[in-house]
């Protein structure tokens, strides 16, 4: 798998995922200690992407479990295929009659049937869901439990068993334990705080908005053919937008969308009108767009290098910083 932290960084980069060393360190540790990683951070900074990329870099198959309110064991772990069982009993009626043949008392009949019931509760009638898949898979795999914060607390408690021992008990069949421990990633958008018990079993990784430098690199890797100067302006603009007090702060995915949009428009440089017209690519709320447009002219003048020196001292965005987090 991974040899060193640098190796992680390099391999992820080959997959087109540029990350800070901090992230690489945690991925490396997770692969070494075989511990799940709980990834938290704002939406769109590449939490899910990280799991996908690590799976690709290690050549593992990715099994994904999307969490939502009301997700239960039947959908996450396994389910008995009732209709198939029913169908089989219908088809096998004669065979069952054969088995029952010659029984005199009810008790005797029940015992005969009882001796056969493992036929109906076997692997054949089980529908494996993502978690069981990940545990019974012959090859090592990567398991992504996406948006775990959206699930109910009961489901979270149920996850604990799976995450700490990598085994699952099906009462009718027995316990399955993982032949090969999967690499587990849980992502959370902080809709609610996860329980301490869950956190204790995981390594924790907080992914924040990237620094301008890293974001520039990401842009370079993901949107080939973008003009250097344009990319720089774009990233600087995003950094400023993030300091505004917005409902939904734009993240990396929005930066990429924007870059692609500008590329499609054949834009060479970022000017005020262009930004105004394409604002709806990065901001998703009407109120946010209005607010950003108000600030826009001021921001644009500041992006001119000449005006930068004097203006930074009285930077209104910097004062607003406190409301950001």
- Contact residues toward another protein (CB under 8 A) are 5, 21-22, 25-26, 28-29, 32-33, 35, 37-38, 40-41, 69, 82-83, 86, 152-153, 190, 192-193, 196, 199-206, 245
Pick the closest to residue 185 from 51, 31, 58 (CA basis): 51
The span from the CA of 282 to the CA of 249, in Å, is 9
Q: What angle do CA 133, 136, 139 make, to 5 degrees?
A: 95
Angle of helix 82-91 relative to helix 93-100, nearest 10 degrees? 70
Q: Do residues 198 and 45 touch, judged by C-beta distance below 8 A?
A: no
Residue with tokens 């334990």: 177
Burial class (CB in 10 A: 0-12, 13-18, 19+), 193: exposed
Structure tokens at 218: 């990401």
Q: What angle do CA 147, 43, 315 make, to 5 degrees?
A: 155
Nearer CB in complex with another protein: 13/152: 152
The span from the CA of 194 to the CA of 204, in Å, is 12
Residue with tokens 């390099």: 10
Angle of helix 272-282 relative to helix 286-303, nearest 10 degrees? 140
The span from the CA of 252 to the CA of 208, in Å, is 10
The span from the CA of 143 to the CA of 62, in Å, is 6
Q: Do residues 252 and 41 touch, judged by C-beta distance below 8 A?
A: no
Pick the closest to residue 214 from 243, 262, 252, 248 (CA basis): 252
């Amino acid at each position: 798998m991974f040899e060193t932290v640098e190796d992680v960084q390099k391999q992820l980069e080959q997959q087109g995922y540029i990350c800070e060393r901090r992230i690489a360190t945690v991925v490396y540790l997770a692969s070494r200690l075989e511990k799940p990683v709980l990834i938290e951070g704002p939406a769109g900074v590449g939490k899910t992407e990280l799991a996908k990329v690590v799976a690709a870099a290690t050549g593992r198959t990715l099994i994904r479990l999307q969490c939502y309110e009301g997700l239960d064991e039947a959908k996450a772990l396994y389910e008995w295929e009732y209709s198939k069982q029913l169908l089989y009993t219908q088809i096998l009626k004669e065979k069952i009659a054969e088995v029952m043949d010659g029984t005199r008392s009810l008790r005797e009949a029940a015992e005969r049937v009882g001796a056969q019931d493992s036929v109906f509760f076997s692997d054949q009638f089980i529908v494996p869901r993502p978690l069981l898949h990940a545990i019974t898979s012959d090859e090592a795999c990567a398991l992504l439990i996406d948006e775990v914060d959206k699930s109910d607390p009961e489901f979270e408690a149920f996850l604990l068993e799976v995450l700490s021992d990598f085994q699952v008990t099906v009462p009718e069949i027995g316990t399955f334990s993982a032949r090969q421990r999967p690499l587990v990633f849980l992502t959370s958008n902080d809709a609610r705080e996860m329980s301490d018990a869950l956190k204790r079993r995981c390594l924790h990784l907080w992914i924040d908005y990237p620094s301008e430098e890293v974001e520039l690199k990401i842009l370079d890797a993901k949107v080939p053919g973008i003009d250097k100067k344009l990319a720089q302006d774009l990233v600087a603009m995003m950094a400023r937008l993030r300091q505004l007090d917005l409902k939904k702060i734009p993240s990396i995915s929005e930066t990429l969308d924007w870059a692609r949009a500008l590329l499609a428009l054949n834009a060479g440089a970022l000017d005020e009108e262009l930004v105004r017209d394409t604002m709806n690519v990065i901001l998703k709320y009407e109120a946010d767009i209005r607010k950003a447009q108000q600030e826009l002219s001021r921001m644009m003048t500041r992006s001119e290098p000449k005006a930068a020196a004097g203006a930074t001292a009285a930077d209104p965005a910097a004062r607003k910083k406190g409301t950001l987090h």
